[in-house]
Amino acid sequence: MIKIPATIEGLEAITATIALGISVNVTLIFSLQRHREVINAYLSGLEKAKAAGIDLSTIHSVASFFVSRVDTEINQRLEAIGTETAIALKSKAGVANAQLAYEVFQQAFSTERALGLLAAGANKQRPLWASTGVKDAALPDTLYVTNLVAPEVVNTMPEKTLDATFDHGVIPADSITGAYDEANAVLDALANEGVSYVDVTQVLEAEGVAKFIISWNELLDTVTVALDAAKSNTEAPSAL
Burial class (CB within 10 angstroms; exposed 0-12, middle 13-18, buried 19+) of 214 = exposed
3-state secondary structure of 140: coil
Contact 175, 147 (CB under 8 A): yes
Contact 6, 38 (CB under 8 A): yes
* Annotation says 3 is catalytic: yes
Strands 2-5 and 24-29 turn out to be: parallel
Contact 15, 48 (CB under 8 A): yes
Question: Taking Cα atoms as reference points, which of 139, 178, 174, 131 lies closest to residue 155?
Answer: 131
> Residues with Cβ < 8 Å from 26, sequence gap 6 or more?
3, 4, 5, 6, 10, 14, 38, 41, 42, 61, 62, 63, 64, 125
Contact 45, 19 (CB under 8 A): yes
Contact 30, 69 (CB under 8 A): yes
**Amino acid letter, 152:** E
Paired with 62 in beta bridges are 25, 126
Region of 53 on the Ramachandran plot (φ > 0 left; ψ -120 to 50 alpha; else beta): left
* Active-site residue list: 3
